[in-house]
Amino acid sequence: MRTGPTALPIADGRAWAVIGIGFLALSVSFSARSALGLVMPSWAADFAWTRGFMSTGGAVALIVMALTAPLVGNLADRHGPRALLTAGLAVIAAGMAMTATMSADWQFILGFSLIGGAGFGIIAIHTVSTAVTQMAPRAPGLAVGIASSGATAGQLLIVPLIAVILGGIGWRPSFFALAVVCLLLAPVVWLVLRPGTPASAVSDPAARPDGLDRRLRGLAVSPLFHALFWSFTICGFTTAGVIEVHLLPYAAACGFPPLPSAVAYGVLSAFNMIGMVLAGYLADRTNRVVLLGAIYLLRALCFVPLLFIVGNYPLLILFAVLFGLFDYSTVPVTASLVASHIGLKVMGLTMGLLPLGHALGAAAGAFLGGVLFDLFARYAETWIASALLSALAGFIVLLLRDRPHAQLARAPT
């Protein structure tokens, strides 16, 4: 057990302001991404676009996000997150405004997939986690947990609002509303992350990181980076890959109608928020290696109920609750380990590289889930493979050693 603060661990009002800004920015960014699924039927009716074309546009956005993440992380290390978060919101606003006014397929690819994808890659967990960790060094896990929970909160709160606007006055006002919100939030970010606060301290020349090549070499020989990278790759396989892509089709194959299935997925999202905040709180008070390893091992056990949910809706809800707790909860613990073991000077780059592994794992999970279903006409093999891989991720992490306290490192180790 590590010693932790006995009083409120995040006492600085400016730190709470940055956490709140990160929460809101992620809520808007993830909601804008999720809006694509809502508007596909409308675009199919208005433009006669196929689902394949619109899905390709979404895939392009994900690729742009993955390629953007390391570049953005490097810039966050070099110049701080202030300008990046402000610019990212402006980029999303531009992409959503273009999407709202589009009348041709190339405008969709340019506006949503390329411009929007770049903005989504900037307003992402790696940038926000870097900002809030610098502002709350006494409780980096809790700070990242609260801020990153905005990713799920947006899907719970803002996406239904978009659906209401979509059903009432159409899809164009929905995207205009997203653009306006981003434009209004951008100057707030600029003012809150003002020069002179701890969040911009990394821009001090004395604290400026080494060159990119030296930092990459340092990460290449870091056992902790490799453990986090490969476990995060498995994380992508078991979450964004198999669950986000194949859970609802599996629920339908098990006989559950669309509405109950969607409710179960909403329960999973709600417990995502709880899991992130709880894991962040524990990361500041317990052995983080044991905590992260336990999250992966418990996630492995969560796949067992999926093998028996046919005709058992309460069991599907139980899975949603349990998996939600151990889904995004890896993020604040991983960020805390990066801050203390690898260092703030390379945190942006490190947190930007991890999504590459996550994206590769997600792609493999989505693909393999489809292939296995085509071979066996069932998902049992997919869930078993996911459970085994989650357990492997847990054992990879448990090979590491935590430090006795959450002191932030100054350089790669």
Name the fold adopted by 8-203: Growth Hormone; Chain: A; (1.20.1250)
Name the fold adopted by 209-413: Growth Hormone; Chain: A; (1.20.1250)
**What is the band of 208 on the pLDDT scale with cuts at 50, 70, 90?**
low
Element spanning 113, H or E? none
Q: Which has more pLDDT, 318 or 263?
A: 318
CA distance 313 to 262: 12
> Is pLDDT above 90 for 182?
yes
CA distance 81 to 77: 8
CA 260: distance to chain centroid? 25
**pLDDT value at residue 8:** 47
Q: What's the chain's average pLDDT?
A: 84
The CA-atom distances, in angstroms, between 259 and each of 156, 263, 364, 413 are 15, 6, 28, 50
93-122 confidence digits (pLDDT tens): 999 999 999 999 999 999 999 999 999 989
Q: How many CB atoms lie within 10 A of CB 195?
A: 11
The stretch 278-286 carries a mean pLDDT of 90
pTM greater than 0.85 (yes/no): no
372-386 confidence digits (pLDDT tens): 888 898 899 999 999
CA distance 225 to 15: 27
**pLDDT value at residue 206:** 44
Tokens standing for 329?
A: 């909860």
Element spanning 144, H or E? helix 140-148
> Is pLDDT above 80 for 160?
no
| pLDDT-above-90 percentage for the chain | 34
Residue 149 is classified by DSSP as: T
335-378 confidence digits (pLDDT tens): 889 888 888 788 888 988 998 888 888 888 888 888 888 889 88
The stretch 316-320 carries a mean pLDDT of 95
Tokens standing for 216?
A: 């990459």
The stretch 385-393 carries a mean pLDDT of 97
For the chain, the distance separating the N- and C-terminal CA atoms, rounded to the nearest angstrom, is 23
**pLDDT value at residue 10:** 54
The ranges of the chain annotated as CATH 1.20.1250.20 are 8-203, 209-413
The stretch 213-226 carries a mean pLDDT of 88
The stretch 321-347 carries a mean pLDDT of 89
> Is pLDDT above 60 for 221?
yes
The backbone torsions φ and ψ at residue 137, rounded to the nearest 5 degrees and listed phi first, read: -65, -20
48: left (phi over 0), alpha (psi -120 to 50) or beta: left
Say if residues 292 and 397 touch (Cβ distance below 8 Å).
yes
Say if residues 219 and 77 touch (Cβ distance below 8 Å).
no
CA distance 316 to 307: 10
**pLDDT value at residue 198:** 46
